[in-house]
Amino acid sequence: MIRFIVSRAVQGIIVIFAVITITFTLSKMVPGGGVRNERFISKEAQKAQDEYYGRNKPWLVQLGLQFKHYATLNLPESEHYKGRGVDEIIASGFPVSATVGGAALLIALAMGVPLGAFAALRPNTLEDRSSTLAATLGICAPSMVLAPLIALLFGLKLRWFNASGWFDESDWVLPAMTLGIIYSAYIARLTRGSLRETLAQEFIRTARAKGASETSVVFLHAMKLASLPVLNYLGPAAAGMLTGSFIVETVFQLPGLGQFFIAAAINQDIPLTIALSTFYAALIVSFNLMVDILQAALNPRIRLQA
């Protein structure tokens, strides 16, 4: 088990450093080699900046410098937001994104799992069909379609919440609802498929034969196995929520990480771009690691393999 966790963690660290390398290389492909061409900067100031970011050194040395920054967590300043360290910017944007993303994940699980389980327990009935239909419709309403519609309905027409901005206590509700609905659809589909498959297996028949109640068969025996594919999906889902968050943060005008990332890419603020990509990679990697560990804890077959 410990060997398994260590090997996964090492793999994750490789991913993070590969992300730094790729983002750095991509940013060097900018016409002009990533040096910002600002007219109001004197030659000396430009030189001092190049010195600070190490841009006068050879490519490999610069890459090594980036590795050193991230290995020692001694991060440079942003180029566009002068005087602010990239870690400060992440610290200001992350709480916004994390609140919305965390709430969205809870909404997705709270809606998706019961919906899918309900459908799986009543196969081929009207309830099954309609919940499957709802899940399919959810898949076809991506964030760029759903977000403006939700903002229109609950923000502008009903006026229950602010349609955009990050001012009131309740401003997380609409963006989290948008992302949550989208992912609940996938989760419902997965839960239904995997619970139905599990319920057809022999150990369920054994559990029933030994006289276990229907509730304990479904919730204790079947759900434990059936939750594996759902759990497995949460890794990619976390990545997807980051993607969705670019759109959702744009529509609802939230000052989250997604907004900073797009601005950094457009402003060619390379230190901030690298920092944000690395941060995203670290998030995804730790999420996948957590999923792997949970899965190993739930599934004896994986545990034995490791």
Partner 1 sequence: MRNRMNAWALGFLAALVVLCAIGPTLSPYDQSQQNLELKATNPSMDHWLGTDSLGRDMLTRILFGGRVSLEVGLLATAVAAIIGVFYGMVSGLAGGRTDAAMMRIVDILYAFPFINFVILLMAIVGREFWLIFVAIGAVEWLTMARVVRGQVLALKNLEFIVAARACGAGFWHIVWRHLLPNVMGPIIIYASLTVPGVMLLEAALSFLGLGIQPPDASWGVLIQEGAKSVESYPWLLLYPCIFFSTTLLALNLLGDGLRDAFDPKSMSQQ
Determine which helix (DSSP H) or strand (DSSP E) holds 29, and give its type and residue range.
none
d(CA 183, CA 177) in angstroms, rounded, equals 10
- DSSP-based three-state secondary structure for 56: coil
Interface residue with partner 1 among 176, 254, 285, 296 (CB under 8 A) is 285
Span interacting with partner 1, options 64-72, 91-99, 143-151, 207-215, rule CB under 8 A:
143-151
Provide the CB-side half-sphere exposure for 251 (13 A, CA). Answer: 23
Say how far residue 167 (Cα) sits from the centre of its chain.
Answer: 24
Q: Among residue numbers 157 through 196, which ones bind partner 1 (CB under 8 A)?
A: 193, 196
If you ran DSSP here, which 8-state letter would residue 77 be given?
Answer: B
Using CB under 8 A, which of the segments 51-59, 91-99, 165-173, 283-291 binds partner 1?
Answer: 283-291
What span, in angstroms and rounded, lies between the C-alpha atoms of 186 and 183?
Answer: 5
Site for partner 1 in 41-100 (CB under 8 A): none
Interaction of residue 30 with partner 1, rule CB under 8 A: yes
Chain center to CA of 227? 20
Our finding on whether 272 is near partner 1 (CB under 8 A) is: no
Residue 91, token pair as written in the block:
């610290």
261 near partner 1 (CB under 8 A): yes
Stretch of residues binding partner 1 (CB under 8 A), selected from 36-44, 84-92, 136-144, 201-209: 136-144
Looking at residue 12, the DSSP 8-state letter turns out to be: H
Residue ranges binding partner 1 (CB under 8 A): 11-12, 14-15, 18-19, 22-23, 26-27, 29-30, 136-137, 139-145, 147-149, 151-152, 156, 193, 196-197, 235-236, 239, 242-243, 246-247, 250-251, 261-262, 265-266, 268, 273, 276-277, 280-281, 284-285, 288
